[in-house]
Structure 1
Amino acid sequence: MGTTTKINRKVLSTLETKIGKFEYYSNMVVGEVKEGVHVTFETAVEPLQEGAQIFGYAENFVYISHRLHSYSIDPTGYYEAASMFPNFKALAIVATNRRRRMLANLERLFMKRPIHVFDNLESAFEWAETFLENQPKNPF
């Protein structure tokens, strides 16, 4: 993960947890989950709480999942996260491995937010920036 690349891409906060590393930008989170971890809503509480402190409930944001390692996800946790954070607008998944890309496409069945899969981080950032520019501001 980088610290600064393009528009508004300065890292505001970095959080290391037992499940992985999370970098918080002004309107994006980039997460890299560790090898072999099983991600559930419960194990993701700490990064979600950090996001709530940074974004509050007014600032729209996109989560970018940078999938460098093999791990499992309980996709039912997407419902809880989406209901807790109405300003969580979309998910970008970066996966170069063909199997991980196929699994990422299955996650669309569990989330009522847009999900896009990319093969590099820069494309995910560019898509997220464009996506957020076209979102109405939250009235909170």
Structure 2
Amino acid sequence: MKTVDLDFGRFEFYPDLVIGTINEGVHFDKKLNETLRNNIVYHYGVHHPIGYISVRENNYSVDPMIHLENKKFDNLCSVAIVENRIYGMSSIALEAKFFKPGKLKSFITPEDALIWTNKQIENSIRNKELKYQLV
């Protein structure tokens, strides 16, 4: 595991997933999203399937439009958001509308988010292998 501290949060890079915690008071917009995405590409390359788990323990805002860009990021299989505050759930529902259908989901515990994320990564790998077999 490699930890990357950026001005706006801490990100833990594992073999197939990133766990991110955004700092208190940050507005996570397209510019910050691009910085994070560049770090992910630097670490994994552009073909390695990965999942992202966002642990929302701090108060910060997210521009839901970032997910329009994120859904173009082919190796990003899924986004799991760990949020146990009721008021955060409505923003997650809005965010999900801008990402790949069924691939952005909220969880109350990090463990559940990890289980789901690992399944999404496995499915993505399996689908890519099947695609190559058909060609």
Give the structure-2-normalised TM-score.
0.86
For 1:89, what is the secondary structure of its paired residue? strand
For 1:26, what is the secondary structure of its paired residue? coil
For 1:104, what is the secondary structure of its paired residue? helix
Deviation at 1:112, TM superposition (A): 2.1
- Identity %, equivalent residues: 29
Structure 1: runs of 5+ lacking an equivalent: 1-10
Aligned length: 127
Q: Choose between structure 1 and 2: higher helix proportion.
A: 2
Among 30, 54, 63, the residue aligned to 2:43: 54
Among 99, 106, 112, the residue aligned to 2:100: 112
Among 63, 83, 86, the residue aligned to 1:98: 86
**Partner residue in 1 for 2:27:** 38
Among 50, 59, 63, the residue aligned to 2:52: 63
Paired residue type of 1:86: D
Deviation at 1:67, TM superposition (A): 0.3
Matches of 1:130 and 1:89, distance apart in 2: 10
Paired residue type of 1:124: A
Q: Give yes or no for contact 2:64–2:94 (8 Å, CA) kept in 1.
A: no
Deviation at 1:57, TM superposition (A): 1.4
Deviation at 1:40, TM superposition (A): 0.8
Matches of 1:102 and 1:117, distance apart in 2: 10
**What's the C-alpha RMSD, in Å, of the aligned pairs?**
1.6
Matches of 1:78 and 1:134, distance apart in 2: 21
Paired residue type of 2:34: V
Q: Which runs of 4+ in 1 moved over 3 A?
A: none
Paired residue type of 2:40: G
Structure 2: runs of 5+ lacking an equivalent: none
For 1:126, what is the secondary structure of its paired residue? helix
